[in-house]
Amino acid sequence: MGPALRNRSRPWRHADAWQLLIAVAGLLAGVAVAWIVSRAGGDRFNGSHLPLAVPVILLVGWSFIGSGLLYCRSRPDNHLWAVLIFQGFAWFGSILPSSQNPVLFTLGQFIYPWQYASGLYLILSFPSGRLRGGLDRVLVASTIFLVTVGSLIWLLFADPHRMMCPTCPANLLEVTRNDAVVVGVFYVFRLAGIVIAVTGIGLLAVRWRRASRAQRHAVMPVAVAGVVAFCAGIAAFAARLARMPGPTPFDVLAFYAGAAVPVAVLAVLIQRRLAQGAVAGLVVELGGPEPGADPREALSRALGDPSLAVGYWFAAESRYVDRNGGAVELPAPDGGRRSTVVERAGQPVAVLIHDAALEHNAKLVDSVCAAAGLALENERLAAELRARLVELQASRARLVEATDAERRRIERDLHDGTQQRLVSIAMSLGLAEARLPADPDRAKPIVAETRTALATALAELRDLTQGIYPTILTERGLSAALDELCSRSAITAHLRLFLDGRLPIPVETAAYYVVSEALTNAAKHAQATEVRVAARCSGGILTVEVADDGVGGAGNGKGSGLRGLADRVGALDGRLSVSSPPGQGTTLRAEFPCG
């Protein structure tokens, strides 16, 4: 309640002041232009009658300025608002040549072509406000160049009074009359205009083909209006180049076609407002009586993005999972997909993976996230449960696999080692037996050799059984077993024990293997020189930690050894964590309930 109230009664800001100023200036400019046009008899330029000229002029100008202000309030980071406001004033300025006042007439001649430059920028950059390609920039830059140079030359050399219309006021900036230069500029300007408009249509077409559905949805009205305006502009310029007596009907067409652009921009803004209204529907839908329904469907409808994917936060593993507990990958930042995290009480609940086009409608996404929070939290709990189940099944399968692999290893060790040694001993005995009756002296060394072989076989067998299960663990407990493990370690191991008496056998075994694996890794992979091993049982939790000073960079997902350990620890409701920043050693930490 509190924050919302504070938000509503926020103090008057600097930004509000100048936005108000722009709005007032826009209103005044509109009124002034309307007055000029009606005084000129509803004509734009001499002789051509434009039905509804005043309402259309006001609608276009005010639409541009109004959309610009709306944009500025909702997306101040997107500088499209500045382009829209500029376009609105340039539009009003382009009407000034209709004035009979020489000052306004001359000013209007200067301002008039600028609407082409900002209009082109607007159509090409909508809705991001950024030009995307090199060709876009070249097009806009050459338009600005043409507009500047063209209007300057016109102002310096044109004598409209004698050249075009006898009723026109004088060009106040005219230095000297030069009809040839003015006509040349006139041709270049219109020829270039046609080339630019055709290229613009091509760019829009290419962009349309590559756009996703949501992107098309977001830009369609402006793209259509843009193509219409380009076509009308081409026709009007072409008619003038073909020396049709002006003003031609195509000028009239271009005038109305240009009016379609701000209307389209407004349409997009209204469409977004309506989409935010759909959020109310979403709240009803998600709170509805169907608890098993997938929130993705409703969210996808509310956002207008059929490709929407939802990932639910799996807190235990700090990653996102889908509805069935499968892994969800977040999109790469440079692709066509974006992700928005939904939070409740500062905790992530879910992530929406949506089309990048929705970036331009952050308000809608925010409202949808806010509305869907509770439903997503419920779904998250269910998804987390399923993810745990998936994880459980996978770990069970891995345990079975690990058991089989272990059996295979033991079988191989027995076959390649002990069994062969025993066979060879049997052979030696056979040999000795064969020699004994005839030549006991030759049999003697063979018997000695056999005894040595038997000792070796026994030692191997002892190592093997020790590897199958550490007998010291069952006989003397975890403290003694860790002590022996550390004293046998290939690198220096410092052991600190805070253990009292015996713990449950499965916990002792798992803890033993955590330390054993960590010591092996530290010696084999981490290039460590020293390891610190600590085991502490307090508050019903056994914590085992092994920290080395090696190269680090060991991953949690990598290596079947760590995976197997995590399974072993997980099976006892414990947690295994690996911290291994490159260059800063590896710390393996396992926690088990041991009460």
In angstroms, the Cα distances linking 367 to 42, 307, 342, 374, 381 are 46, 19, 11, 13, 22
Comparing CA positions, the residue from 489, 498, 501, 503 lying closest to residue 548 is 489
Shortest distance, position 462 Cβ to another protein, whole Å: 19
The residue from 315, 400, 434, 448 that contacts another protein (CB under 8 A) is 434
- The C-alpha angle 21, 27, 33, rounded to 5 degrees, equals 130
Which segment (138-146, 305-313, 430-438, 508-516) binds another protein by CB under 8 A? Answer: 430-438
496 bridge partner residues: 534
Compute how many other C-beta atoms are within 10 angstroms of the C-beta atom of residue 274. 10
Shortest distance, position 452 Cβ to another protein, whole Å: 12
Which segment (41-49, 335-343, 424-432, 582-590) binds another protein by CB under 8 A? Answer: 424-432
Shortest distance, position 439 Cβ to another protein, whole Å: 11
Tokens of 248: 């031609």
Nearest-angstrom CA–CA distance, 19 and 38: 29
Shortest distance, position 435 Cβ to another protein, whole Å: 7
The residue from 19, 199, 248, 424 that contacts another protein (CB under 8 A) is 424
- Give the containing element (helix H, strand E) for 185: helix 179-210
Residues sharing a CB contact under 8 Å with residue 330, sequence separation 6 or more, in sequence order: 311, 320, 339, 351, 353
The residue from 430, 440, 593, 595 that contacts another protein (CB under 8 A) is 430
Number of residues that bind another protein (CB under 8 A): 18
Residues numbered 401 to 420 that lie near another protein (CB under 8 A) are 412, 415-416, 419-420
Nearest-angstrom CA–CA distance, 371 and 284: 9
If the CB atoms of residues 421 and 532 are measured against another protein, the closer one turns out to be 421
Tokens of 453: 């072989």
Within 244-317, strands assigned E span: 309-314
If the CB atoms of residues 419 and 560 are measured against another protein, the closer one turns out to be 419
The verdict on 459 binding another protein (CB under 8 A) reads no
Measured over the CA atoms of residue 331, residue 332, residue 337 and residue 338, the dihedral's sign is positive
The verdict on 444 binding another protein (CB under 8 A) reads no
If the CB atoms of residues 389 and 423 are measured against another protein, the closer one turns out to be 423
Residues sharing a CB contact under 8 Å with residue 144, sequence separation 6 or more, in sequence order: 117
Cis peptide before 169 (omega within 30 of 0): no
The verdict on 423 binding another protein (CB under 8 A) reads yes
Shortest distance, position 434 Cβ to another protein, whole Å: 4
Which segment (107-115, 232-240, 421-429, 459-467) binds another protein by CB under 8 A? Answer: 421-429
If the CB atoms of residues 213 and 408 are measured against another protein, the closer one turns out to be 408
The verdict on 428 binding another protein (CB under 8 A) reads yes
The verdict on 439 binding another protein (CB under 8 A) reads no
Shortest distance, position 446 Cβ to another protein, whole Å: 9
Q: Under the rule (CB under 8 A), what is the footprint of another protein?
A: 412, 415-416, 419-424, 426-431, 433-435
